[in-house]
């Protein structure tokens, strides 16, 4: 059957208002890629899969929630949508607003937005406003402005975002035939882990697919849910999870606990090392997306998670192309050789 996007495939399972329109770029339906070599390097004896969300239309999982949130906003004749964003929400909101013919305004924190994300928001025609503050400050502002003006808020405090993002859990169960034993994923504003838990619970009630344990992973410099208090100046190279006051923090902690899992932190070095190893498997993700697997390896090494005989899925949330600078900043300049066979032989055979 031809694929027409998430609302067509899973709309009946999502709690969306009657007036919701289908605004789709054929998001979702992302591959669940087995990574046996990586599993072997982590000690082996289990099955490991990457849910590669970087293959969504704007390069991140945000499109799952945006098809629902923008579809709802368009259906009630909103004229404009707004969001605060570390980048991927902005690009996604801009694309789906463009698709629906709505105006999009995105607020980004000063400085720390990866090049590919900002370029996306601009390319799709959003009005990009940078504020002299953090993501958390930007979110506070968009909440205030949407209380005052008829502009639809499409951050993940919008419940329809989470409805759309439940489809990640549905797809994993549909592919594996059941829920995995563990699901590991990065945690920033904590909407995605909350949505996955809603999705797995719903599928289990309707189709007895079982429930995974959730391993949420924050960056060590932006780990309010691990430390138990907000962080005023979160800091990490994983800009997508550089968030000090997660809007869905309580819900995420409850989800992790109910599942029998937990939320932990991984350092920037661990995250970047895992980004390189994934790229070594042919899967290039942006730094935040490697956090789930970095956390998994940590738990396995510490002996606090026994993977033996288990099926484990890591959600890799965004494409590596979103943040090219993290790679090119430390890249040695490509070697320049004369255009001759001898010179070429010399440089490649010398290795």
Ligand X SMILES: *Cc1c(COP(=O)(O)O)cnc(C)c1O
Residues forming the site for ligand X (CB under 6 A): 60, 62, 88, 156, 186-192, 240-241, 286, 288-289, 317-318
Least gap, CB of 3 to ligand X (angstroms): 23
Least gap, CB of 80 to ligand X (angstroms): 22
Nearer to ligand X, 67 or 192 (CB): 192
Contact 292, 314 (CB under 8 A): yes
Least gap, CB of 294 to ligand X (angstroms): 13
Residue closest to 151 by CA, chosen among 82, 87, 200, 209: 82
Least gap, CB of 21 to ligand X (angstroms): 24
Nearer to ligand X, 46 or 243 (CB): 243
Q: Could you give the CA distance from residue 165 to residue 178 in angstroms, rounded to a whole number?
A: 18
Contact 175, 31 (CB under 8 A): no
Task: Strand 127-131: give its sheet, edge to edge.
Answer: 127-131, 103-109, 80-84, 152-153
Nearer to ligand X, 93 or 178 (CB): 93
As beta bridge partners, residue 153 has 82
Least gap, CB of 2 to ligand X (angstroms): 28
Nearer to ligand X, 31 or 75 (CB): 31
97: left (phi over 0), alpha (psi -120 to 50) or beta: alpha
Q: Is 308 exposed, middle or buried (0-12, 13-18, 19+ CB in 10 A)?
A: exposed
Nearer to ligand X, 72 or 136 (CB): 136
Residue number closest to ligand X, CB atom: 318
Nearer to ligand X, 275 or 317 (CB): 317
Which H/E stretch holds residue 80? strand 80-84
E-state strands within 159-204? 182-186
Residues 6+ apart with CB under 8 A from 327: 320
Least gap, CB of 92 to ligand X (angstroms): 8
């Amino acid at each position: 059957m031809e694929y027409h996007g998430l609302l067509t495939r899973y709309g009946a399972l999502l709690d969306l208002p009657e007036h919701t329109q289908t605004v789709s770029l054929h998001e979702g339906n992302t591959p669940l890629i087995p990574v046996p070599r990586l599993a072997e390097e982590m000690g082996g004896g289990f099955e490991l899969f990457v849910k590669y969300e970087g293959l969504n239309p704007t390069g991140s999982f945000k499109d799952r929630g945006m098809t629902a949130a923008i579809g709802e906003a368009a259906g009630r004749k909103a004229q404009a949508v707004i969001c605060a964003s570390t980048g991927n929400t902005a690009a996604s909101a801009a694309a789906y607003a463009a698709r629906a013919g709505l105006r999009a305004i995105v607020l980004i924190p000063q400085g720390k937005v990866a090049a590919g994300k900002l370029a996306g928001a601009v390319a799709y025609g959003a009005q990009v406003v940078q504020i002299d503050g953090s993501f958390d400050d930007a979110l506070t502002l968009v909440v205030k402005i949407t209380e005052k003006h008829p502009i639809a808020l499409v951050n993940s405090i919008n419940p329809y975002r989470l409805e759309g993002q439940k489809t990640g859990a549905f797809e994993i169960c549909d592919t594996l035939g059941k829920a995995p034993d563990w699901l590991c994923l990065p945690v920033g504003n904590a909407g995605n882990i909350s949505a996955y838990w809603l999705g797995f619970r719903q599928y289990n009630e309707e189709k007895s697919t079982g429930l995974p344990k959730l391993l949420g992973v924050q960056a060590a410099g932006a780990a309010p849910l691990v430390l138990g208090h907000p962080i005023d100046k979160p800091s990490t190279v994983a800009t997508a999870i550089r968030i000090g006051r997660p809007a869905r923090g309580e819900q995420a902690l409850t989800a992790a606990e109910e599942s029998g899992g937990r939320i932990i932190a991984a350092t920037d070095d661990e995250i970047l090392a895992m980004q390189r190893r994934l790229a070594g498997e042919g899967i290039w993700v942006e730094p935040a997306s490697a956090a789930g697997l970095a956390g998994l390896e940590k738990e396995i090494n510490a002996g606090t998670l026994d993977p033996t005989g288990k099926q484990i899925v890591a959600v890799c949330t965004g494409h590596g192309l979103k943040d090219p600078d993290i790679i090119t900043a430390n890249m040695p300049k490509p070697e320049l050789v004369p255009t001759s066979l001898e010179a070429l032989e010399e440089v490649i055979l010398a290795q």
